[in-house]
Amino acid sequence: MRICQICEKGKLVKKDVPYEVYGAALGTFPAEVCTSCGEQWFSEGTAKKIEELEKEKGLFGRAKQSKIGYSGNSLIVRIPKEMAKAMGLKKETPITIHPEGKNRITIEV
Ligand SMILES: [Zn+2]
């Protein structure tokens, strides 16, 4: 029995799990699911298959244009409504912002 690499205490059990991107269901795929944290691990082949399906449906790495806004003395990044909805983001959702060089910012939810 393998142990989950994220929480390092749960066991991984084989299960078919539904997979969706931005609210669009891609289907059910075999995965190993952690009994403790619920993290899902897909095999390399399955991950590749999912990626191909995402590309087919035009969902892979779907990016959206947005603009920097201004409020008080800080700048605001607007997250498109569709993306916020798909990711369950709301006002006051805590986030961590990582600057990654001059051209990229990663926002972690
Ligand atoms: Zn785990």
Q: Give the model confidence (pLDDT) of 35-64 as tens digits.
A: 999 988 889 999 889 888 888 877 777 677
- The pLDDT score that the predictor gives to residue 72 is 83
Q: How far is the CA of 32 from the centre of ligand 1 (A)?
A: 10
Cα 101 to middle of ligand 1, angstroms: 31
29 with 16: CB under 8 angstroms? yes
Residue 43 domain flag: yes
CA-based nearest residue to 80, from 65, 93, 91: 65
Computed over every residue of the chain, the mean pLDDT equals: 86
Range of the domain at 103: 68-108
In a domain, 4, yes or no: no
The 3-state secondary structure of 59-105, one letter per residue: CCCCCCCCCEEEECCEEEECCCHHHHHHHCCCCCCCCEEEECCCCCE
What is the 40 CA–ligand 1 centroid distance (Å)? 9
The helix (H) or strand (E) run that includes residue 29 is: strand 24-34
| 20 Cα: distance to centroid of ligand 1 (angstroms) | 20
Same domain, 45 and 78: no
Give the chain's domain count. 2
Q: How remote is the CA of residue 30 from the centroid of ligand 1, in Å?
A: 17
